[in-house]
Amino acid sequence: MTQLNRRQLLASAAVAGVAAAGAGCEPQAAREPVKVHKNAEFYKADGTFDQDAAKTAYYDLMKAHGCPVYDSLKEQLWVLDFGLGRFTDVGMGGVFWLNEWDEKSNYGYLGHEIYLLPGQMIPEHQHVKHEAIQPKIEGWLCRWGETNCFGEGDASPEAKKVIPATEWKHTTVHHMTRVKPGECAKLNRPLAWHSQVAGPDGAIVTEFASYHSMDALRFKNPSVKL
């Protein structure tokens, strides 16, 4: 029997992982159309944010892309409109599969899934140091749809067309990296301001990062509420 060295085993595992990751995604031609919603669909008669409607929209997004909707995902999915009342412009869904901090060893890590409807934006923010926790550093793998990551660097000409007009005055970094399925982007340094806007078919993004502390979040838009 042929003996495989450690490098060969790791390479084989990587290939298998890629195949498994793509197994739940239907061929592009068989994919359902991704629905574009009206903002009013996500607010009740009294103006409060309808989380159930938002979650249903994300489940529909997942199904349209052939992305599995696990029971454990439904149990953990959270949704935000950032308190702005403009969910179709500024909002997100997410699942923290892992988010752990070990005080004794002073380390932590995050496994996070991000869900964005077509054209939906995560508003510009940064992650600062909080107590013993160092500023979060992160990277993103686009799995389905398309996302536009904004960060430091020369301004991209198309930035103003991609960032929702309602949020433009609260963005300061306009260097855009378009990330398609199977592609990654990352934060260029700790403390960097950044945002993200989904493409016309929405986006399902896996985030790899150090520990996420809600207390360490800072937003450019002073009206944002979590």
Q: What is the pLDDT of residues 77-90, one digit of tens each?
A: 999 999 999 999 99
**Confidence (pLDDT) at 103:** 84
pLDDT tens by residue, 56-112: 999 999 999 999 999 999 999 999 999 999 999 999 999 999 999 988 888 899 999
30 compared with 114, residue with greater pLDDT? 114
Full-model pTM: 0.86
CB 196 within 8 A of CB 54: no
Mean pLDDT over all residues of the chain?
A: 89
**What is the rounded distance in angstroms from the CA atom of residue 45 to the CA atom of residue 47?**
5
43-219: which CATH architecture?
Sandwich (2.60)
**Confidence (pLDDT) at 74:** 97
pLDDT tens by residue, 187-221: 999 999 999 999 999 999 999 999 999 999 999 99
Q: Is pLDDT of 27 > 80?
A: no
**Confidence (pLDDT) at 104:** 82
Q: Is pLDDT of 6 > 90?
A: no
Instruction: List Cβ neighbours of 117 (8 Å cut-off, separation of 6 or more).
Output: 36, 37, 57, 58, 61, 88, 91, 198, 202
